[in-house]
Amino acid sequence: MTSERIGFQPGSSTGNNVIAYIDAHLRDFPGRVALRWAAPGAINDWDGNAHSSLAHQEISYLDFGLRIRHFAQGLLDLGIVHGDRVIIFLPMGLDMYTAMFAVQRIGAIAVFLDSWARASHLGASAACVEPTAMISAQPAFELVAHVPAFARLPLRILWGPGDGFAHHFDALLATPGEAAIAPVASETTALITFTTGSSGTPKGARRTHRFLSAQHEALDKLIPYTAGDRDLPAFPIFSLNNLAAGVTSVLPALDLAKPSERDAAILVSQILSQNVSCATLSPSMLAGVARHCHQTGTRLPGLRRVVTGGAPISKDDVLSFVAIAGNAALWIFYGSTEVEPMAHIEGHAWLAQKPRCSDPEMVEEGVNVGQIDSNLEYKFIRICTGPIDLQTTPWSEIELKPGEIGEFIVSGDHVCRDYYNNPEAFLQTKIAGADGRVWHRTGDLAYTDAAGELWVVGRIHNAIERAGKYVFPVRPEVLLKRMPFVEQAAFVGLPDARLGEKTCVVLKLRDGAGPDRVVSEVRRIFGKNHIPVDEIHLVASIPLDPRHHSKVEYAALRDALRAGHSTPLLTA
């Protein structure tokens, strides 16, 4: 590995291009396996038993690096140049990473769209970046055929079978030449990833070469790898970190856009048969793996570390997992699309913390997400739903004292500074300092305790202002999820002429739960915790985010309640 920091070189330099990480691996350990993945048809041939192996294929860093160079030359031959935007709409796998690194190698910009995105999201994303090319399968091109933003797309590169395309993925792989690394400035955009916020409008997080390198450095400091590790990363960001670190990644054999009842067994099979030592799992995956292992009497002694995050996780789920992976450290990361990591706590340490109140029916204000990352500066500011301009609203008017609940904001090298071609998103989520620093508004309400640990109490847009006082959803939702008759739960506010907002408990019940018991138990527990409950509603399901399938989509839930799609048990 080069002794100089990749992404932090002055001027335009090949040392700023993040592909330099891969090229260093070709030099230092060309024979090490970069990626392993389930062979085509392996899932269909698999008997569903987690102790049965799935056939896997692999590629070394040498062959992976050469594959990237040939594909990059193919892109150059098509006329794609420095700064061009290339949409990559492919499943997580060898070809997706080949395309992404090839685009970055020539100084172009890789644009990622979530596999669950709808045609409207794809159109809005394309309108934002004005792509030069798109690499995807024929069904995706058919999906956007009537989307105006794609009508002027110059280059369409087909991945997989199909007719009527002039350019094919496999043909680019067979390009005889090998593209050299393009020199780039550290703040050159390397990657754009789109995220859909509460408004439903996609925002393209602009990830520069410097940002990606700083993010890798921050993650590598917290979760270092050994040369012999095999990591199973459920999130592409951790795959990128693995590839930068030179570790072997075993790609999850799942369709992340379509969770299946077999997913947990598939993950357990991969962990066991592929000798996985580390893994990154969403909270829902973690809970599913633990549940499957408990049901089948399976243990995962080979795991030495697991990282989870992206959505809230309960202590019950942590307890369940550590029971089946006794040798593993379990790191719970708190982060976001724009900043990962922001804070972290180890699961065993979290479980060992004594509650401030000995009564198990009492819940603390918020969830402890641990120590704030040492690479970040941070502040807490008053609740404000609009843009903040420090020229008219100085820090002295909005910054809170330590220990007070406010919006958590951060600044640092691994903080995404802006969004591609979206100044409105910048105004809503960033604060520009006079010293050139950009502060990211997380949208999370939180505070620090006497030990400096961060406690998150809820999202700013989900805070309920009832009768002049704020009520935050995290605490009541923890209480609800502990109740044995609850399968899903949420705590939301709805407009109310008298209170301003009324508090609503929303539940999906397990089979056999009686409505009278639900009302009496919710009233009893919430009264004990001094949390006001104005209404209780039963629903068939609570909408969850399509990415992690763990976070409540509060805006959609409020719309459903207003539309009458619930059974009221208690009304204000």
Contact call for residues 542 and 552 (beta carbons, < 8 A)? yes
Residues 101, 19 within the same domain: yes
Q: Is residue 452 situated within a structural domain? A: yes
Q: 70-86 burial by CB neighbour count: b if 16+ within 10 A, else e?
A: bbbbbbbebebeeebbb
By three-state DSSP, how is residue 120 classified?
helix
pLDDT digits (tens, 9 = 90+) for 351-375: 998 877 778 888 888 889 999 999 9
Distance between CA 456 and CA 474 in Å, rounded?
A: 8
What is the predicted pLDDT for the residue at 115?
A: 62
Q: Which among 193, 213, 233 is the end of a domain?
A: 213
Tokens of 280: 């990154």
Distance between CA 225 and CA 357 in Å, rounded?
A: 38
Predicted confidence (pLDDT) at residue 37 exceeds the cutoff of 70: yes
Residues 191, 44 within the same domain: yes
Instruction: State the residue range of the domain holding 131.
Output: 12-213
Partner residues linked to 465 by β-bridges: 470
Q: Which among 409, 436, 462 is the end of a domain?
A: 462
pLDDT digits (tens, 9 = 90+) for 457-483: 888 988 999 999 999 988 899 899 889
* Averaged pLDDT, 183-193: 97
* Averaged pLDDT, 526-540: 95
Q: Is residue 330 situated within a structural domain? A: no
Residues 117, 182 within the same domain: yes
The tally of domains found in the chain comes to 3
| % of the chain surpassing 90 pLDDT | 79
Amino acid at 429: T
pLDDT digits (tens, 9 = 90+) for 426-442: 999 999 998 999 999 99
Distance between CA 409 and CA 407 in Å, rounded?
A: 6
Q: Which among 436, 462, 488 is the end of a domain?
A: 462
Q: Cβ contacts of residue 26 below 8 Å, gap of 6+?
A: 61, 62, 65
Q: Is residue 232 situated within a structural domain? A: no
Predicted confidence (pLDDT) at residue 187 exceeds the cutoff of 80: yes
Q: How long, in residues, is the chain? A: 572
Residues 99, 33 within the same domain: yes
What is the predicted pLDDT for the residue at 116?
A: 59
pLDDT class for 548, splitting at 50, 70, 90?
A: low
Sign of CA dihedral 312, 314, 317, 323: positive
Residues 180, 95 within the same domain: yes
Residues 509, 456 within the same domain: no
Residues 63, 151 within the same domain: yes
What is the predicted pLDDT for the residue at 117?
A: 64
Residues 27, 135 within the same domain: yes
Tokens of 567: 């059974």
Residues 46, 187 within the same domain: yes
Residues 418, 544 within the same domain: no
Q: Is residue 503 situated within a structural domain? A: yes
Tokens of 546: 């399509």
Q: Is residue 171 situated within a structural domain? A: yes
* Location of structure tokens 């030179």: 246
Residues 505, 407 within the same domain: no
pLDDT class for 259, splitting at 50, 70, 90?
A: confident
* CATH number for the domain that contains residue 424: 2.30.38.10
Q: Is residue 227 situated within a structural domain? A: no
Residues 55, 162 within the same domain: yes
* Averaged pLDDT, 242-267: 92
* CATH number for the domain that contains residue 536: 3.30.300.30
What is the predicted pLDDT for the residue at 2?
A: 45
pLDDT digits (tens, 9 = 90+) for 371-392: 999 999 999 999 998 999 999 9
